[in-house]
Structure 1
Amino acid sequence: MRHTISALVENKFGVLARIAGMFSGRGFNIDTLNVGPTHDKLYSRITITVLAEDETHLDQAIKQLDKLINVIEVTHFDDRATFVARELVMLKIKADAGNRSNIIEIADIFRAKIVDVAPDSIIIEMTGNENKIRAFFELITPFGILEMARTGMVALPRGYKAER
């Protein structure tokens, strides 16, 4: 089962390495990892998705993460938590005059943006949850994906909660 974990951390050298090392040291393979500064340059938010079957082992890892120096707050977004999660994906799709309009139509349906057009390709930018991205891939893959870049998941809890 996939689990999304968000950690508010001090924006300091080595924090990401310690967190990634803690998960790998406990035998978890990090599926996605996203790091970025918050509105306060003193802090960063790290969002990690891991595949874990053993809930007890994962709970222990989360507790250990919360005890690390430079970690301010840890949130485990599980099935019981209400949260918003999104991912950004950029795709370079093989496109010629014959199929370009079909690709643009699919992009429009998914509210994706065309960010570059070349004679033989189109670059599409799309954000969404895991299901939206999977559905988009199913429709766009037959055209030929030349290159792809993904950010990994970012997530925040629903409702108001003041961040540091």
Structure 2
Amino acid sequence: MHIDEELRERHVLSITVTNEAGILARIAGMFTARGYNIDSLTVADITADHQISRITIVTSGAPRTIDQIMAQLDRLVPVHKVVDLTENGPFVERELALVKVAGTGEHRIEAMRIADIFRAKVVDTTTESFVFEITGPTDKIDTFISLMRELGLVEVGRTGIVGMVRGKA
């Protein structure tokens, strides 16, 4: 095993940018050009005047690689701020998923029971299927989806991770 592979750590990066055409392509292009992988990516407008967006990227790498990614992101002109939430102290991260499950009889009852345990909400129902909405950490969503596979999983849509520093600042 190569040394860099041993030191690979998952990092959640929060990038505040000017909301302009092409910025997401430039950031994704930077990752691609340097061979960095993006595990999750979300983007949202965060100001009332629609001028600023937050991009949340989950990536993995050795500490030196993460430092390089941060420095390269910081040099892009429309980038205002880059924060490694993983290194910055306590933070909250969540993901949302829509999970469609088809089934009747006992499978339908079991799907509802598991959804209740996981605090998943039914957002659509027919006589043959449910669409559940579930939020939480990635491992919770992965477990829920895994359990639903056995009960008639049809389709999954996931948002990707969003994160925020805990506390006042």
TM-score (normalizing by structure 2)? 0.88
Aligned to 1:136: 144
Q: Is there any run of 5+ residues in structure 1 with no aligned partner, and where?
A: none
Residues 93 and 163 in structure 2, CA contact (< 8 A), matched pair in contact too: yes
Q: What's the CA shift string for 1:60-109, capped at 9, x where partnerless?
A: 11111012111111111226621000000111112213321211111111
* 1:16-47 deviation line (CA, Å, top 9, x unaligned): 11111111111111111101111331111100
Kept in 2: contact 1:34–1:153 (CA 8 A): yes
Contact 1:26 1:61 in 2 (8 A): no
State the partner residue of 1:16. Answer: 24
8 Å CA contact 2:12–2:84 kept in 1: the answer is yes
**Aligned residue among 43, 48, 54 for 2:57:** 48
Instruction: Let me know the Cα RMSD of the aligned residues.
Output: 1.4
Q: Distance in 2 between matches of 1:145 and 1:99?
A: 11
Q: Is the 8 A contact 1:114 1:123 kept in 2?
A: yes
Number of matched residues?
Answer: 160
The answer to whether residue 15 in structure 2 is matched with residue 7 in structure 1 is: yes
Q: Which 5+ residue runs of structure 2 have no aligned equivalent?
A: 1-8
Mapping of 1:63-142 within 5 angstroms? 63-78=71-86, 81-142=89-150
Counterparts of 1:61 and 1:79, CA distance in 2: 14
CA distance in 2, matches of 1:44, 1:138: 33
> Given residue 134 of structure 2, which amino acid in structure 1 is its aligned partner?
M
Alignment match, 1:157: 165
The two structures have a TM-score, normalised by structure 1, of 0.91
What's the secondary structure of 2:146's corresponding residue? helix
Greater mean deviation of Cα atoms: 94-103 or 3-12: 94-103
Give percent identity, aligned residues only: 42
Decide whether aligned partners of structure 1 residues 80 and 15 sit closer, same or farther in structure 2, where only a CA change above 3 A counts.
closer
User: Could you tell me how far apart the structure 1 residues matched to 2:152 and 2:114 are?
Assistant: 14
